[in-house]
């Protein structure tokens, strides 16, 4: 049984819609490290881990590489430790600008897909 305020990998997978394999892979590549381990060695995750994982999941449709995701998480962690770090803040602003560009590109692709689907409504 998980410690109070923690969850096992299966619960985290269910809550986030990601597979156990993906969560294990993220742990192996240090993208999402569990907050702890049970006495039996099982991964234990917290609500903060879940939030971090949801951030990662939201980056996937924008086509970010795992390396870029890791970079962003380092920036976020750095700003949590030192909110006044101007260099990190500038880096976050650049990531945000790129995310907006990627989002806008996806919007264009979605509009084109909607047009295509509409054209298939041939009677």
> The CATH number of the domain where 10 resides is what?
1.10.1660.10
30 shares its domain with 74: no
Percentage above 90 pLDDT, the chain = 88
Q: Is the pLDDT of residue 11 over 60?
A: yes
- Pull the structure tokens for residue 15: 């809550």
pLDDT digits (tens, 9 = 90+) for 27-85: 999 999 999 998 888 899 999 999 999 999 999 999 999 999 999 999 999 999 999 99
The structural domain count of the chain equals 2
7 shares its domain with 48: yes
Closest CA to 36 of 12, 74, 3, 70: 3
Which pLDDT score, from 0 to 100, does residue 95 have? 94
User: Which of residues 39, 61, 83 is at a domain's end?
Assistant: 61
- Domain with 106, as residue range(s), is 63-123
Longest dimension (CA), the chain: 64
> How many C-beta atoms lie closer than 10 Å to residue 97's C-beta?
10
Q: Is the pLDDT of residue 3 over 80?
A: no
Please measure the distance between the N-terminal and C-terminal CA atoms of the chain and give it in whole angstroms: 58
User: Which of residues 19, 40, 61 is at a domain's end?
Assistant: 61
56 shares its domain with 104: no
Helix, strand or coil for residue 78?
A: helix
Mean pLDDT for all residues in the chain:
93
């Amino acid at each position: 049984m998980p410690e109070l305020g923690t969850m096992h990998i299966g619960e985290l997978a269910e809550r986030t819609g990601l597979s156990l394999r993906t969560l294990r892979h993220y742990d192996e590549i240090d993208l999402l490290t569990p907050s702890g381990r049970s006495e039996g060695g099982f991964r234990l995750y917290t609500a903060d881990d879940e939030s971090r994982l949801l951030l990662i999941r939201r980056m996937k449709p924008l086509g970010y590489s795992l390396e870029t995701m890791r970079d962003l998480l380092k920036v976020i962690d750095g700003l949590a430790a030192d909110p006044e770090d101007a260099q990190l803040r500038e880096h976050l602003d650049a990531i945000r600008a790129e995310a907006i560009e990627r989002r806008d590109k996806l919007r264009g692709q979605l509009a084109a897909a909607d047009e295509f689907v509409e054209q298939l409504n041939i009677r």
